[in-house]
Amino acid sequence: MFDATVREGVLRVRRPETRWLSTGWNGGRSRGDAAYNASVPEGFDRTDLGAYRDERLARAGFETGTVPPALFTGVSLSHARGARLGPVIAYATAGLSNPATLPMEPERAAADADAGSTERDAATPIGEPSRRPGTVNLIVGTTRRLADGAAANLVAVAAEAKAATLLATAGVPGTTSDAVVVGDDPTGEPAAFSGSATPVGSAARVCVRDAVRASLRSRYPDGDYPGPPADAEHGVVGDDRATVFEP
């Protein structure tokens, strides 16, 4: 199974010769012994993230023979929590300073309609959200050998479980900078699918839920989550309405 070490503000999740799939910076597929989640200081504005990653890993004494998947978060790694069930393990850091909400009845779109404004066209660019490292980061590992589609789907399963957990706990589905890393064992028992009804998907949902809840309890012991979400200084609200049509 995967083992975890936290040192100098860096979480290392390690298992030799693991296949990784990352949605974070410089993500995609890779193969190596570890994935990382590093905390960054308040006001962090470095853009040379590769060099910064290498500096942090060297400072923590983590040696890498390949370019590893690495996530970054504004949350202290003292709040990192893990959960294990069956063939899956998940580690989470959860901070909510930059929530991303998606109301089902957008108020701004309704107000624009009442004022006679046309809806924003799908081709109209929407401003970039302010970059703020609150972040809910997940590293999920399984001892099964995932088919390519199953690995990609496990990212979706983990993100869905994270959103469900955050909605039930804090009233938001995520933040503007969430990321997921999935790892699997290329020599393990094969798994063609990873949906919620499979052993891998079912265990991943539970692990993500419990790891995220534990991290939230550590980060916000009194349940004083930032909010209300729509008023958060660094959050975004999906308050537009798209043009809907039949294909």
Tens of pLDDT, residue by residue over 202-223, are 999 999 999 999 999 999 999 8
Would you state the pLDDT for residue 228?
Answer: 62
Q: What is the pLDDT of residues 6-29, one digit of tens each?
A: 999 999 999 999 999 999 999 999
Domain 3-118+132-222 falls under CATH 2.60.40: no
What is the per-residue pLDDT for 109? 57
Residue pLDDT tens, the chain, 247 long: 899 999 999 999 999 999 999 999 999 999 999 999 999 998 899 999 999 999 999 999 998 878 999 999 999 999 999 999 999 999 999 999 889 999 898 876 555 555 555 444 444 444 444 444 579 999 999 999 999 999 999 999 999 999 999 999 999 999 999 999 999 999 999 999 999 999 999 999 999 999 999 999 999 999 888 766 556 667 788 888 999 999 9
3-state helix/strand/coil string of the chain: CCEEEEECCEEEEEEEEEEEEECCCCCEEEEEEEEEEEECCCCCCCCCHHHHHHHHHHHHCCCCCCCCCEEEECCCHHHCEEEEECCEEEEEEECCCCEEECCCCCHHHHHHHHCCCCCCCCCCCCCCCCCCCCCEEEEEEECCEECHHHHHHHHHHHHHHHHHHHHHHHCCCCECCCEEEEEECCCCCEECCCCCCCHHHHHHHHHHHHHHHHHHHHHCCCCCCCCCHHHCCCCEECCCCCCCCCC
- CA–CA distance, 105 with 97 (Å, rounded to integer): 23
220's CB contacts (< 8 A; 6+ apart) are 96
CA 2 from centre of chain: 18
- Between CA 208 and CA 228 the distance in angstroms is 24
**Predicted structure pTM score:** 0.89
Spatial separation of the C-alpha atoms in residues 137 and 177, rounded to whole Å:
8
Return the pLDDT at 130: 42
- Can you give the pLDDT at residue 122? 44
